[in-house]
Amino acid sequence: MATDFLAAAEALRDELIERRRDFHRHPELAFQEHRTAGIVAEELNSLGLEVQTGIGKTGVIGILEGAEEGPTLLYRADMDALPIAEENDTEYASQVAGQMHACGHDGHTTIALGIAKLLSNQRESLKGRVKFVFQPAEESGGGARSMIADGALESPAPDRTLGIHLWNDLEVGTVSAVSGPTMSGVGLFEVTVSGKGGHGAMPHQTADPIVCAAQIVVALQSIVSRNVDPADLVVVSIGQIHGGSAHNIIPQSVTFSGTFRLFREETRDLIKTRIHDIATGIASGMGCRAEVDLGLGMGAIVNDAEVTAHARSIFSRLGDTVNVVEQPWMASEDVGLFMQRVPSAYLLVGSANHARNLDYPHHHPRFDFDEDVLPLSVGMMSAVIADYLGAG
Ligand SMILES: [Zn+2]
Ligand SMILES: [Zn+2]
């Protein structure tokens, strides 16, 4: 039965590719997804779903009611693009200067609409309903939170949440379905080192915050190598550093900021404490002062064992089409906010094609993916959802 969904999705191939390319030509940044949301709402309406717009600013919800009573499955897709100037010269390259779908969210939106179409044809055999959530502002954060604040997890509340992220670390045809932590949690930090400015030729009269900040940046590299259990996956990276105004002036202060990623929430306190202690300790030893701001973070995406096993069992029925692996991704996602109250799974769907050079990493100006993943994802996720809602 499951293979029928693959065939039905394959019949939509041209339509899916056309729609994805249209989204790709017209990327929209966080909370500005007006055109995308309009197309989504129009398509959901035409499929006969109950549609709500303006949820969490630019989010859209579509509810597909099955013929009989049953559970509610929430399927989440994100719609936002990135402030990156596209360097691809495909005929469907971005037409908006400085903005680009460089993470595959154009694909996610297209795939969710494809699933809505396939399952709306199956409405008579569905027991329960699918709540399609099209989320704004995943990249900058805040989209899931604002949709939930507008009631996206209520009436009806989900019994299960599913979603996918296209992933260029894997070839198309391979899916990472990890039981347990599958995408990392994240934390942010900003450090301001204050010293005493002065003339570059007379450093002995200053407390140099540049030399101090440099020492701190190097020392922070020891958190992963010397404080965290080697079997635990953690990253600490500094993303920006600002200070100074001229070659011969030692400035009053230097600010730098960074991010850390982790899979085990138990490790978060250790990382935060080490960042604080290293920064303040080195600063005081060098006659400076460090202020450490450890901003709000987000937890890892943790897949439920049973929901993941169910998806894997459906994929195994698709024969050789889907090769399932268990490979976590050291990136973070706010889909976890839709997953936290109910058993859920977020799957990483291979979208690369090395032979065609479609394997640039996410957020790269030449990012693109193999569009074979569009019908494949529509087919396999429709099969999983239909089986859960008793129509397998
Ligand atoms: Zn991204
Ligand atoms: Zn993304």
Mean of pLDDT values over 110-127: 97
Please write the tens of the pLDDT for every residue from 233-259: 999 999 999 999 999 999 999 999 999
Domains of the chain with CATH codes:
2-182+301-388 (3.40.630.10), 185-294 (3.30.70.360)
Mean of pLDDT values over 115-119: 98
User: What end-to-end distance do the CA atoms of the chain give, in Å?
Assistant: 6
Q: Are strands 68-78 and 160-171 parallel, antiparallel or unpaired?
A: parallel
DSSP letter for each residue of 223-250: IIIIIS-TTS-EEEEEEEEEE-SSTTEE
Give 391's pLDDT tier (boundaries 50, 70, 90): confident
The CA 198 to ligand 2 mean position distance, Å, reads 45
Report the candidate in 158, 144, 178, 164 with the shortest Cα–Cα distance to residue 336: 144
pLDDT of residue 113: 98
Do 28 and 99 contact (CB within 8 A), yes or no?
Answer: yes
Residue type, 127: K
pLDDT of residue 341: 87
Residues with Cβ within 8 Å of residue 193, at least 6 apart in sequence: 209, 212, 213, 216, 253, 254, 255, 256, 279, 283, 288, 289, 290
Which ligand sits closest to the CA of 363? Answer: 1
pLDDT of residue 296: 81
The CA 104 to ligand 2 mean position distance, Å, reads 6
Rounded CA-CA distance 92/83 in Å is: 17
Candidates 28, 138, 208, 387; catalytic one: 138
304 is catalytic: no
pTM (2 d.p.)? 0.90
Give the least confident one: 60-69, 83-92, 333-342, 369-378.
333-342
Residues with Cβ within 8 Å of residue 243, at least 6 apart in sequence: 209, 210, 213, 251, 253, 254, 255
Tell me the three state secondary structure of residue 184: coil
Strand partners, 260: 187, 236
80 is catalytic: yes
Mean of pLDDT values over 186-200: 97
Task: Give the CA angle between residues 308, 351, 313 to the nearest 5°.
Answer: 25
Q: Check whether 2 has a pLDDT greater than 70.
A: no
Which H helix or E strand runs over 54? strand 50-55
The CA 257 to ligand 1 mean position distance, Å, reads 19
pLDDT of residue 33: 98
The CA 193 to ligand 2 mean position distance, Å, reads 33
The CA 82 to ligand 2 mean position distance, Å, reads 10
Question: DSSP code of 125?
Answer: G
Q: Check whether 392 has a pLDDT greater than 80.
A: no
Which ligand sits closest to the CA of 82? Answer: 1
The CA 103 to ligand 2 mean position distance, Å, reads 5
